């Protein structure tokens, strides 16, 4: 295949669709400038246009459930270009993957999109949450870890251990999570599910994972030199309120994203939220989905023994298999209180607003707790944290 001719043809197709200069699209900031400019152009335009069209479809679904003719044709054209690129760039240095959410949604909308007279949006249509602030296209061969060696143990839990290592190719540290030897088939299945869910999720506030080695039952993930929030606040006890609020907001946003996908974490603790510090910001990322409640799989949905760290006392009566968002609110409240105060035990509150926020989140009667993430976030924002 003449790949130069292919790129020329696809870029011309995209230029016929858009009227603006793609160099002005903010999505240009999402992709590595060292990337081949041709594939970068395709990624930028596809993400920009798809997001605009999906947002418009969300609006039209609420108004009259009719997606306009011009927009229908444009989205069908974008899907065709995406498919062509996926087909002809396979097994080349430009082979790429699209985030699973988008793959599923493109497959779904293609079932009702029409080239003429617009498209009737089905009654079972669900609002699609577009990703504006992270790349949705990823070069498959753009990340290849060299041979893992010189592992240093960072810690471990009941069925897995976490190590760090420095990759020679990237001159960068990564972490590797490895299932303990002698693990049961059920544990192996649960471990792989944890990886696949993390791989599927796409949020700046959830830990990124890279590739899975089925022979050694391990996967590679981001490494945080700053460690957990437990370690971070131990090392930085005088962290200002502004930074603490930022970390808390990121944690809540990460949990809200996780819940929006139908998952419950079930093991939120001071050791399952990692901190990444950069020159100009501090980022919190949720990790460890080993106990996640997945509505599409009963591997961890039907666990009956009480597990986790910040365990809601009501679970000892209700049973772990009945875990709900109300139980998650208990753990989230404990974590937020720790982030904002450095205190692990909820007592001797600084003021009544803090006291009321915490007491509602960990109320003995779980039905009196926050019902969802939005209510939780709204209450957090109203607290006088000092």
- What confidence tens digit (pLDDT) does each residue in 206-217 have? 999 988 877 788
- Model confidence pLDDT, tens digit, residues 141-169: 544 555 677 899 998 877 899 999 988 76
- Kindly report the average pLDDT of the chain as a whole number: 89
Residue spans in the chain of domains classed CATH 1.10.510.10: 229-381
- Model confidence pLDDT, tens digit, residues 9-28: 999 999 998 878 888 888 88
- Give the model's pLDDT for residue 379: 97
- Give the model's pLDDT for residue 383: 97
Angle at 79 between CA 75 and CA 84, to 5 degrees: 145
- Give the model's pLDDT for residue 146: 55
> 3-class DSSP state for residue 76?
helix
What integer is the mean pLDDT of 102-120? 93
Q: Concatenated DSSP letters for 245-313?
A: HHHHHHHHHHHHHHHHTT-B-S---TTSEEEEE-SS-EEEEE---TT-B-TT-STTTT--S--SSS--T
The pLDDT-based confidence of 184 (bands split at 50, 70, 90) is confident
- Give the model's pLDDT for residue 307: 58
Residue spans in the chain of domains classed CATH 3.30.200.20: 152-221
> 3-class DSSP state for residue 230?
helix
- Give the model's pLDDT for residue 373: 97
- Model confidence pLDDT, tens digit, residues 286-312: 999 988 988 776 555 445 455 557 889
Please give the class, per CATH, of domain 229-381: mainly alpha
For residues 331 and 339, the answer to whether their CB atoms sit within 8 Å is no
Please give the class, per CATH, of domain 152-221: alpha beta
Most distant pair of Cα atoms in the chain: their distance: 71
- Give the model's pLDDT for residue 190: 87
């Amino acid at each position: 295949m003449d790949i130069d001719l292919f790129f020329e043809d696809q870029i011309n197709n995209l230029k016929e669709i858009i009227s603006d200069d793609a160099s002005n699209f903010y999505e240009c900031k999402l992709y590595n400038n060292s990337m081949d400019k041709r594939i970068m152009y395709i990624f930028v335009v596809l993400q920009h246009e798809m997001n605009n069209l999906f947002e418009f479809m969300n609006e039209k679904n609420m108004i009259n459930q009719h997606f306009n003719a011009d927009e229908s044709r444009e989205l069908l054209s974008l899907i065709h270009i995406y498919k062509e690129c996926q087909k002809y760039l396979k097994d080349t240095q430009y082979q790429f993957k699209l985030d699973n959410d988008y793959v599923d949604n493109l497959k779904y909308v293609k079932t009702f999109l029409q080239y003429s007279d617009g498209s009737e949006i089905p009654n079972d249509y669900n609002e699609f949450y577009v990703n504006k602030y992270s790349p949705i296209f990823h070069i498959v061969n753009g990340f290849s870890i060299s041979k893992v060696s010189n592992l240093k143990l960072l810690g471990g839990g009941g069925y897995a251990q976490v190590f760090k290592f420095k990759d020679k190719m990237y001159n960068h540290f990564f972490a590797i999570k490895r299932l303990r030897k002698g693990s049961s088939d059920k544990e192996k299945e649960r471990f792989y599910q944890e990886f696949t869910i993390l791989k599927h999720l796409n949020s700046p506030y959830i830990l990124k994972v890279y590739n899975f080695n089925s022979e050694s039952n391990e996967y590679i993930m981001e490494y945080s030199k700053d460690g957990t929030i437990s370690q971070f606040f131990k090392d930085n006890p005088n962290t200002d309120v502004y930074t603490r609020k930022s970390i808390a907001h990121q944690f809540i946003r990460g949990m809200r994203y996780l819940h929006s996908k139908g998952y419950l974490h079930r093991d939120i603790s001071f050791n399952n939220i990692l901190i990444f510090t950069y020159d100009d910001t501090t980022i919190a990322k949720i990790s460890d989905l080993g106990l996640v409640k997945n509505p599409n799989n009963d591997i961890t949905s039907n666990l009956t023994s009480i597990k986790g760290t910040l365990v809601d006392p009501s679970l000892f009566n209700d049973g772990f298999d009945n875990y709900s968002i109300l139980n998650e609110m208990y753990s989230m409240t404990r974590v937020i209180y720790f982030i904002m105060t450095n205190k692990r035990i909820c007592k001797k509150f600084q003021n009544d607003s803090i006291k009321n926020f915490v007491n509602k989140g960990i109320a003995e009667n779980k039905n009196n707790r926050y019902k969802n993430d939005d209510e939780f976030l709204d209450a957090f924002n109203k607290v006088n944290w000092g």
